């Protein structure tokens, strides 16, 4: 019912040469027709990626956008409208690295969410708890609050075209993956939260898992009923590994 998605977040990685190599590697991958595949390069490499994937069914997203939807005087930022113009169809909002290392809070995140949607981008909205929050038994409370911050300001309908990524902070870049059962438990709770306001929307919204997803762990994670694919960091920098993860999401 929900079409799976596998997205690669390249984070602050890549040179022109390494990106050319990765594009070439991905162009040689057999990707499943029943999975939406996307990559999120740095702003610098968006043009190179658009040109590199001509004719290949790989969507492109940005890792961030400005709080202001349209271009204007805002030094160093990139507007969602510019990203759309550059060929992006998606954008990450609320990634934990931006929340924790750059101090992005709910207000800024919600503004970016709205800016992205008003420019026609699909938001991949990232949520997740820290290790301390998990150990304190606060996982569901933390994730629910992150989602409520958006719903309370913008309404639940914004999730009709958005995608949610559950990324436990303790699993990002650590090699520690949430078990399929741990992830499923949180995914089901997220869907339950949406269902309180709109069961129909909740049934359609894709919820991806992120946090040290590898080809070896992907199939089991993606086999869980509420896990609709993955948001992949480190492993997405290797074309063979990423291709295998995409194939694990296919039927
Ligand atoms: P890793 O797959 O490297 O843990 O990163 C996950 C992530 O943050 C994707 O956005």
CATH number of the domain that 202 lies in? 3.20.20.70
Residue numbers of the domain that contains 237: 5-249
Q: Which atom of ligand 1 is nearest to the CA of 11?
A: 10
pLDDT the model gives residue 217: 97
Distance between Cα 231 and ligand 1 center (Å): 7
Q: Which of 234, 244, 245 has the most ligand 1 atoms within 8 A of CB, as the residue to mutate?
A: 234
pLDDT the model gives residue 81: 98
Q: Which of 9, 165, 177 has the most ligand 1 atoms within 8 A of CB, as the residue to mutate?
A: 9
CA distances from 39 to 124, 143, 226, 246 (A): 12, 24, 22, 12
pLDDT the model gives residue 53: 97
Q: Are 120 and 88 in contact (CB under 8 A)?
A: no
Number of domains comprising the chain:
1
Question: What is the tally of helices (H) and strands (E) in the chain?
Answer: 11, 8
Q: Which atom of ligand 1 is nearest to the CA of 210?
A: 6
pLDDT tens, residue by residue, 83-92: 999 999 999 9
pLDDT the model gives residue 98: 98
Q: Quote the mean pLDDT of the chain.
A: 97
pLDDT tens, residue by residue, 35-74: 999 999 999 999 999 999 998 999 999 999 999 999 999 9
* 127-147: average pLDDT: 98
**What confidence tier does 241 reach under pLDDT thresholds 50, 70, 90?**
very high
Q: Which atom of ligand 1 is nearest to the CA of 232?
A: 2
pLDDT the model gives residue 186: 98
Q: Residue 1: pLDDT above 90?
A: no
Q: Which atom of ligand 1 is nearest to the CA of 92?
A: 10
pTM beyond cutoff 0.85: yes
Tell me whether residue 49 is exposed, middle or buried, using C-beta atoms within 10 angstroms of its C-beta: 0 to 12, 13 to 18, 19 or more: buried
pLDDT the model gives residue 181: 98
pLDDT the model gives residue 82: 98
Distance between Cα 214 and ligand 1 center (Å): 10
**What confidence tier does 244 reach under pLDDT thresholds 50, 70, 90?**
very high
Q: Report which protein residue has its CA nearest ligand 1's atom 1.
A: 233
Tell me whether residue 96 is exposed, middle or buried, using C-beta atoms within 10 angstroms of its C-beta: 0 to 12, 13 to 18, 19 or more: buried
What lines the ligand 1 site, CB under 6 Å? 9, 95, 167, 172-173, 210-213, 231-235
* 230-244: average pLDDT: 98
pLDDT tens, residue by residue, 19-31: 999 999 999 999 9
Cβ-proximal residues to 121 (8 Å cutoff; 6+ apart), any chain: 61, 62, 65, 80, 83, 84, 88, 89, 90, 91
Distance between Cα 192 and ligand 1 center (Å): 25
**What confidence tier does 175 reach under pLDDT thresholds 50, 70, 90?**
confident
Distance between Cα 68 and ligand 1 center (Å): 26
Q: Residue 141: pLDDT above 90?
A: yes
In percent, the amount of the chain with pLDDT more than 70 equals 100
């Amino acid at each position: 019912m929900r079409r799976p998605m596998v997205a690669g977040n390249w984070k602050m990685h890549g040179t022109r040469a390494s990106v050319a190599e990765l594009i070439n590697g991905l162009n040689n991958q057999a990707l499943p027709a029943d999975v939406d595949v996307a990559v999120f390069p740095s702003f610098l490499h968006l043009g190179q990626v658009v040109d590199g994937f001509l004719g290949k069914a790989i969507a492109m997203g940005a890792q961030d956008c400005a709080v202001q939807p349209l271009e204007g005087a805002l030094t160093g930022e990139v507007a969602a409208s510019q990203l759309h113009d550059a060929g992006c169809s998606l954008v990450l909002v609320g990634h934990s690295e931006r929340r924790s290392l750059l101090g992005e809070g709910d207000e800024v995140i919600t503004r970016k969410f709205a800016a992205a949607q008003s420019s026609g981008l699909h938001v991949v909205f990232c949520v997740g708890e820290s290790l301390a929050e998990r150990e304190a038994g606060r996982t569901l409370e933390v994730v629910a609050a992150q989602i409520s911050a958006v719903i309370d300001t913008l309404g639940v309908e914004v999730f009709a075209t958005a995608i949610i990524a559950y990324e436990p902070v303790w699993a990002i870049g650590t090699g520690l993956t949430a078990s399929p059962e741990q992830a499923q438990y949180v995914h089901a709770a997220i869907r339950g939260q949406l269902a309180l306001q709109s069961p129909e929307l909740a049934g359609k919204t894709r919820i991806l898992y992120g946090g040290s997803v590898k080809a070896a762990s992907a199939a089991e994670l993606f086999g869980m009923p509420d896990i609709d694919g993955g948001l992949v960091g480190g492993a997405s920098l290797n074309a063979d590994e990423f291709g295998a993860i995409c194939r694990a999401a296919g039927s």
